[in-house]
Amino acid sequence: MRKTFIMLGVCALAVAVPRAQSDEARRISEAVTVLSEIMDAGDQSVPKAIMEKAEGVAVFPSLLKAGFIVGGSRGRGVLSARDPKTGEWSSPAFLTITGGSIGAQIGAQAVDLVLVVQNRRGLEQLVRNQFKIGAGASVAAGPVGRDASASTDIQLRAQILSYSRTRGLFAGITLNGSTIRQDRDANDRFYGMGYRTGQIVFDHRGGAPEPVPDWKAALDRYSK
């Protein structure tokens, strides 16, 4: 009986691991889809001038927000940073976002959230184990459209520009009080080791298992 129990436990573990890995791979694939659809939206896209100068990009697909006027949010996403010397994008580190409020809201709906990091200081703040928006780096609603200027006072001061898409609408969005944390459990499941966010985006740990090449290709396509 004991031997059978142990074998069943091993079998259950063997089934759980591939399922967990596919969850992380799906998160990356969804981030690729969100970024591609937003950047291919013409006059409703993130301005090319902003993407060309971006030092980091984070995408949170299907972030769930709920409440009436004041509400909360929760979701999971990925972050990659651009190497200042080579211009190459890192593999994605996994993140979670919780709490706070995302603009005026009624009911519950899924939102795609994109953060474009404009400088190294903003990137370092975002990479910390726990980053509360509004308490660290300056975050501002980003401009939208191919010809949108990237030189307004708000954009010059902001270290991170934020965007959201819901029900087909895409616009800069104001985030208040949300907390972004590294998801080391997801890093462990996907890369086989619980790397910290900085080890992946700055030290290039983890390699490039599928579908990481697709994510990097999307970042290259829209930032060059």
Instruction: Sort residue 28 into left (φ over 0), alpha (ψ -120 to 50) or beta.
Output: alpha
Q: Which one is predicted more confidently, 177 or 105?
A: 177
- How many percent of the chain have pLDDT more than 90? 46
First to last CA, the chain: 61
* Predicted structure pTM score: 0.81
pLDDT, position 137: 62
Please say whether the beta carbons of 145 and 50 come within 8 A.
no
220 Cβ partners below 8 Å, 6+ apart? 89
pLDDT reading at 213 higher than 80: yes
The structure tokens listed for 46 are 């993130």
**Measured at the alpha carbon of residue 31, what is the angle toward residues 169 and 83, in degrees to the nearest 5?**
115
Report the 3 state secondary structure along the chain: CHHHHHHHHHHHHHHHHHHHHHHHHHHHHHHHHHHHHHHCCHHHCCCHHHHHHCCEEEEEEEEEEEEECEEEEEEEEEEEEECCCCCCECCCEEEEEECCEECCCEEEEEEEEEEEECCHHHHHHHHCCEEECCCCCCEEECCCCCCCCCCCHHHHHCCEEEEEEECCEEEECCEECCEEEECHHHHHHHHCCCCCHHHHHCCCCCCCCCCHHHHHHHHHHHHC
Extract the tokens encoding 119.
Answer: 């400088």
The rounded distance, in Å, linking the Cα atoms of 136 and 116 is 15
CA–CA–CA angle 45, 56, 84 (5° rounding): 120
Tens of pLDDT, residue by residue over 151-174, are: 454 555 789 998 888 766 666 666
Arithmetic mean of pLDDT, 77-81? 98
Residue 181 has pLDDT above 50, yes or no: yes
Average pLDDT over residues 15-27: 66
| Per-domain residue ranges of the chain | 2-223
